[in-house]
Amino acid sequence: MKENNLLTEINIPSNNDIHDEALINEFVNGVGKNVFILTPSYPFVFIGRIIDVVGDHVVVDVKVTTIGELENRNWSIHIHQIEVFYIEEKGMPKIPELKVDI
């Protein structure tokens, strides 16, 4: 029993790596689609079309964010910094114009 406790098992790739890589794939599959992204860092919200995935960053043509001055430009967003997102799918609700306060 005691010997068993000394055994450290390492998986390669680790669970964390698998999840991180699979998340990048979700964005690669979403190129050309509209996306809604929430991040804990400023400016918190991005809405726009996915243009490309570069490494572990997603490039979004941002149409709407919290700050008007930061809209209508390409933003490179670190995928692993994203807290919640929604990539628009056929047959699923469209991303609304979230301009108005809720």
Partner 1 sequence: MSYEKEKDIKQQQDLPEKRKEDEDREFEGMLRINIANIEDELFEELQGLEGDSVLFVTQSDQLNLFGQTFRPIFCGTIIRVTQGDVTLFPVNIKMINAPFFQFPTPLSIPLEKIAHFTPNFDCNERIPLT
Encoded tokens for 83: 């807290």
Encoded tokens for 8: 């450290």
Does 80 interact with partner 1 (rule: CB under 8 A)? yes
Return the residue of 1, 32, 33, 40 that touches partner 1, per CB under 8 A. 40
- Kindly report the number of other CB atoms within 10 A of residue 44's CB atom: 13
Does 95 interact with partner 1 (rule: CB under 8 A)? yes
Does 76 interact with partner 1 (rule: CB under 8 A)? no
Does 6 interact with partner 1 (rule: CB under 8 A)? yes
Distances (CA, A) of 72 to 15, 42, 60, 67, 90: 37, 16, 10, 11, 24
- Look at the chain and count its residues: 102
User: Quick one: CA dihedral 83, 71, 87, 76, positive or negative?
Assistant: negative
The number of residues that bind partner 1 (CB under 8 A) is 44
Smallest distance, partner 1 to C-beta of residue 1, A: 14
Does 77 interact with partner 1 (rule: CB under 8 A)? no
List of residues contacting partner 1 (CB under 8 A): 3, 6-13, 15-16, 18-26, 36, 38, 40, 44-45, 66, 80, 82-89, 92-96, 98-99, 101-102
